Amino acid sequence: MYDNFHTQFIKPFFHLFLYLYFVSSSKKWNITVLLFLIAAMIGEFLTARNFVANYVYIVLLFATYFLIGLFLMKSAIKDSKFRIQLTDIYVGLIILIAFTYVVGSIFFITAEELGDFLFLLVATAAFSGFVGGCFYIAAYHSNPNKILFFVVGIGYMIVCVGTLVHELVMPSVFIQGFVNLVEVISQVAFIYALIKLPEMLRPKKWHI
């Protein structure tokens, strides 16, 4: 049967593959991307070992992970031109409501079960900044590759909620397997987005 016991041994190889894929595609070594993936790898390993026992370390590692991720995409955020259109308002409101609900749920479920408000607040802020940055790029950047950031943003909302539901509310191998699948897709999408980032930053008119 599938469980996190196997995940803790598989994921390090997956993160190594992601970094080597990034290096081979971008033709450069990037210590920031490496630290980003190491934070995820250790955080996921500790989650697989024992989420509750390692909660503080996991929260700090993923706060670091999301902050590094936000740093990695700051150039794309700066390159995204904010504009207001009627359709943007409707879509933005829907995303904002969903995002607020998800973040609020994450915070209150975790706070009620585990406490440690300060660590949780830092992690929630880092998560909000990262996912918010993804949605901002997806909404306002002109390059078609912005869809990758939308996938990442949606993916991590699912991952965070799913992980907490599985660990604190309703343990389920199906939820666990689905969360791990979405997490893999999100991480691949983000690394691929970083590879495409130089192309996104080149001045060019995209009519989308």
Residue-range domain boundaries for the chain: 4-201
Q: What distance in Å separates the CA atoms of residue 183 and residue 189, rounded to the nearest whole number?
A: 10
Place of tokens 């920031």: 32
Residue 194 CB burial class (10 angstroms; 0-12, 13-18, ≥19): buried
Closest CA to 191 of 72, 62, 88, 31: 72
Helix ranges (H only) for 115-172 are 117-140, 147-164
> Which residues does 136 contact at the CB level (< 8 Å), separation at least 6?
77, 80
Please list the pLDDT of the chain residue by residue as tens digits (208 residues).
Answer: 445 556 667 888 899 999 999 999 999 899 999 999 999 999 988 888 887 788 888 889 999 999 999 999 999 999 988 776 656 566 666 766 776 776 666 666 666 655 667 777 888 889 889 999 999 999 888 899 999 999 999 999 889 888 877 777 777 788 888 988 999 999 999 999 999 999 998 776 544 4
Residue 81's φ and ψ, nearest 5 degrees, are -95, 115
